[in-house]
Structure 1
Amino acid sequence: MAIEAVLNVDLDGPRISRHLYGHFAEHLGRCVYGGFYVGEDSDIPHERGLRLDVVDALRELSIPNLRWPGGCFADEYHWRDGIGPKEQRPVMVNTHWGGVEENNHFGTHEFMALCEMLGAEPYIAGNVGSGTVREMSEWVEYLTRAGDSPMARLRQANGRDEPWPVRFWGLGNEAWGCGGNMTAEHYAQEARRYGTYCRDYGDNKLYKIAAGANSADYAWTETLMKQLGPLGCRHIESTAYHALSVHYYTLTGPTWEQKGSATAFDTDEYYTTMVSAARIDEILSGHAAVMDCYDPGRSVGLVLDEWGTWFDVEPGTNPGFLYQQNTLRDALVAGTHFDVFHRHADRLVMANIAQTVNVLQAMILTDPDSQAMVLTPTYHVFRMNRGHQDATSLRVDFRTAPPSRRVGDATLTTVSMSASRKDGRLLISLSNLDADTAADVEIELRGGAVETVEALILTSGALQDHNTPQAPSAVTPRSYDGVTVAGGRLRAHLPAHSFVTVSGAL
């Protein structure tokens, strides 16, 4: 029997910001060096040291923003070390990630050049943990102030006459941990202080993001919201910060030290992973509920600027580099996350997967031996979902209860979907998380007609399947004929462990 659902095509929901499809690049392992940046002497095709095949692949995703330089690294990074002639830049030790030395050849100008090549907005995480208010204030001036000023002259001396537009600024990172081990109360005061001295210059209006909670720490969120206004405040006009972040990772293993393998897992571990991934709905709902108490007008944004799967590193790799493979399981985690993001689009204004290249749940893996570039299954979910960016979300209601299964003490709903409308086209995303059993879905389309549809499917023979330099297309999307539409009803057959997108003109 088919699962029945209703989609009201003509009833607008919140707009799905393109920034929910954001990315994250930290100085960690081979994300920047060996991923984005190969250096100006590399034999790999590049422009000013920036690897061109990686840039081209990310352009295909319409990547909206890129967060940098961390992560934990942000709070030990001093931006002046990364400007000026490369041979004069000081070497530093990356104490958080592997204890390796960094030559600072990838700094502010290189990052801004990367964002320009990608067509992405920069999201810069400033140093609150070991930096100073003056340091961050001058970085804002260096990047965004036109005319004549000390930092503008320094930028011009380093080869950039005009300022860059940089809206998004993070006031530190994980202040409760690697960003300073602060209490919420202490960090709230620091955020107000740092935010005060991050100035708007010209037409560049900053959107300042306070370092928010770890997972379900709703008390941290409440402490930050109290700094912005009293309970029930209808409209908050903050000059200190405009949004709060939260971090949530999908974990599977029994302990932090044993997170489980990215590729060698059984079905039970798969379902445990999907239960952990599904908890993102609870996390976002909890923080939104706290924020609603202080900001019912929803003028303050919620930013999930680190999310994704976190498994053990691949055998034989540096444990501080967080290099893991990426299977069909990771793709299904991404697909269900996006369904949740779309439902929270009234409060959630940005999300950044951790991380873009060679780290954790990456879009792209580069092989240091063959220099090959591999697109991961997660990459393909981002590409299949491109049409949701800046689209109008559409509510999907189940008429019959979707299938579910017990996983330990939890119940996992195994069919997930979301929908949007943009430029006269409908896009529906559907996931079947059941490892072994197919599902049939019948959706009544109300308030709009779709005559024909096009469908893509991402699946493979095994949940553990992944792409490698030797088999780069083991898990890749293909056209799919298992979706039909007639008489105002759309019918989709979803094979076990599959992600499907359906699009059509309205």
Structure 2
Amino acid sequence: MHKKYVALLFTAVSLVTGSSLSAQQKSTITLASQENAPTINKHIYGHFAEHLGRCIYDGFYVGEKSTVPNTNGVRNDIIAALKELGIPNLRWPGGCFADTYHWKDGIGPKDERPEMVNQWWGGVTEDNSFGTHDFLDLCETLGTEPYLAANVGSGTVQEFTEWIQYVNHTGKSPMSDLRKKNHREKAWGVNIWGVGNEAWGCGGNMTPEHYANLYRQYATFMSDWTNSGKMFRIASGANVADYHWTEVLMRDIPKNLIEGVALHSYSFVTWEKKGSSTKFDEQQYFTTMQTALKMEELVTKHTEIMDKYDPAKKIALIVDEWGGWYDVEEGTNPGFLYQQNTMRDAMIAGTTLNIFNNHSDRVRMANLAQTVNVLQAVILTKGDKMILTPTYHVMHLYKVHQDAKLIPIKVASPDYKFGDKTLPAISASASAKDGKTHISLVNIHSTDKITTEINLESLKLKNFTAKIISSGKLQDHNTFENPNAITEKEFKDFKFKNGTLSVTLPPFSVVVLEGK
């Protein structure tokens, strides 16, 4: 073919795809000073289980009489998968559901519990068969810390504080006596508490000034009943870029009444037209990644506000809802938010966790939404079948960062271009723990492999191994018929010579390297 026509063809294909076809792009990563680097708090890798769709019922909880193997009604396969994932905390019962939930309806004999209508999610009637004991016993089984989101929107201070007394009081009291009557002698000792949820929206459509005063009232009466001062109180924080909300909370809430400020942000094509979770094109993929990478700006700007009032960084930024949000799968209840999970979600997970790791001086807890069968779930179920999603495998690879010392890095990345817009193609974070160094790398580019060079001479490392999550198409996902289409695999496309690690990352891939 004539060179002129080859050039024309190249240009035409580039215009159609909206991206560069160069397969020889390179990036570099350099290490910054580690002297004052923070520890990556394990709670950044937290999860979220709301009474929404099939997350609790027909997800976690199938009931003691189910033919699906279970422990006290909770699926054994889910318990095993979450233990392997090493989840550090689990948030419950919401979400929007939290501010309609009255905890006393979910204790005592199950056949005597009142029913309620889930007004936020599908209008379904539930029987409260999964309640406080079920959730906290599940957390004990998982070895994870419970995060209880309490009702401020439609509840009272007394209801809230009685719940704390019920689960935490070790001596004799009305609520600890009630707990013992319900066959639980030992207090659970719940430390993490959310004071309402999304007070700017489904939690009451409040102004930040009103919520700040309400928070002060609730937080004043919160006690762990041991005077140890260990209770971790989280204020309902901003919706995405509502920086005024964070400003008011940090300004108006006394520092002795608060340990964390929340932030919620989801990734999607557009809020009005979220698109299919599996039938998306490159433009929809690129736009979704724009909203995902916006997390860097959100965390930075909310942190700047918090730094004005709390320069010692004693108050944590808690991103307790994040993840991809698309249209529900065809034929499912639109209020159940059930969606599939593709390589696009793996890109969201990898890049978002890298952002959290790199900001771990302020971000000390986060919760992926949600654990089972809802939004960017790590687990999907169908009858007695269960599959692990690409997001599960990313979080499994990244668990090496939990409670590890951050290695600050600087990334010089080539652009991923679509039309007249660009995004950095490479995302990364690194940490050290127990004599091992881990580097997590993500290439979000839809077509280009990218070689990344990392100078690690100062770390005196000798040997590396690696694992990868990748696939042939961005839309690829695991199904109940083919549950292992996307899994973690051994990765060898890297070289380590004279202290420099050279890694060739396939398009839309996640790689975690271990050096020692």
Which residue of 466, 474, 481 maps to 2:492?
Answer: 481
Q: Does 1:225 align with 2:250?
A: yes
Shift of 1:303: 0.4
Shift of 1:484: 2.3
Which residue of 368, 374, 381 maps to 2:387?
Answer: 374
Alignment partners' CA distance in 1, 2:316 and 2:28:
34
Question: Deviation string for 1:390-448 (max 9, x for gaps)?
Answer: 001101124xx311134466430001111000111000000111100100011101421
The match for 1:420 is: 431
The match for 2:303 is: 288
TM-score (norm 2): 0.93
Range moving further from structure 2, 6-15 or 122-131: 6-15
The match for 1:444 is: 455
- Tell me, yes or no, if the aligned pair for 1:335 and 1:381 is still in contact at 8 Å: yes
Question: Deviation string for 1:249-301 (max 9, x for gaps)?
Answer: 00113x42x21000000111111111110000111111101111111111111
Counting only pairs closer than 5 Å after superposition, residues 130-149 of structure 1 correspond to structure 2 as 130-149=154-173
Alignment partners' CA distance in 2, 1:496 and 1:11:
34
SS in structure 2 of the partner of residue 447 of structure 1: helix
SS in structure 2 of the partner of residue 420 of structure 1: strand
What amino acid maps onto 1:285 in structure 2? T
The match for 2:84 is: 60
- Aligned-residue sequence identity (percent) comes to 52
- Tell me, yes or no, if the aligned pair for 1:385 and 1:501 is still in contact at 8 Å: yes
Counting only pairs closer than 5 Å after superposition, residues 22-33 of structure 1 correspond to structure 2 as 22-33=46-57
- Tell me, yes or no, if the aligned pair for 1:145 and 1:201 is still in contact at 8 Å: yes
What amino acid maps onto 2:141 in structure 1? M
Counting only pairs closer than 5 Å after superposition, residues 84-123 of structure 1 correspond to structure 2 as 84-123=108-147
Q: Does 1:503 align with 2:510?
A: no
Aligned length: 491
- Tell me, yes or no, if the aligned pair for 2:34 and 2:408 is still in contact at 8 Å: no
- Tell me, yes or no, if the aligned pair for 1:167 and 1:204 is still in contact at 8 Å: no
Give the alignment's Cα RMSD to 1 decimal: 1.3
The match for 2:406 is: 393
Alignment partners' CA distance in 1, 2:32 and 2:250:
35
Shift of 1:241: 2.1
Alignment partners' CA distance in 1, 2:419 and 2:243:
25
TM-score (norm 1): 0.95
The match for 2:177 is: 153
Shift of 1:4: 2.4
Which residue of 468, 490, 503 maps to 2:501?
Answer: 490
Alignment partners' CA distance in 2, 1:154 and 1:83:
10
Question: Deviation string for 1:360-399 (max 9, x for gaps)?
Answer: 000000013xx2000000000000011100001101124x
The match for 1:457 is: 468
Q: Does 1:330 align with 2:345?
A: yes
What amino acid maps onto 1:271 in structure 2? F
What amino acid maps onto 1:457 in structure 2? I
SS in structure 2 of the partner of residue 188 of structure 1: helix
The match for 2:259 is: 242
Range moving further from structure 2, 8-17 or 210-219: 8-17
What amino acid maps onto 1:211 in structure 2? S
Identify if the C-alpha distance between structure 1 residues 71 and 337 changes in structure 2 by more than 3 Å, giving closer, same or farther.
same
What amino acid maps onto 2:365 in structure 1? M
Alignment partners' CA distance in 1, 2:264 and 2:102:
23
Alignment partners' CA distance in 2, 1:330 and 1:377:
7
- Tell me, yes or no, if the aligned pair for 1:432 and 1:496 is still in contact at 8 Å: yes
Range moving further from structure 2, 479-488 or 345-354: 479-488
Gaps of 5+ in 1: 230-235
The match for 2:414 is: 403
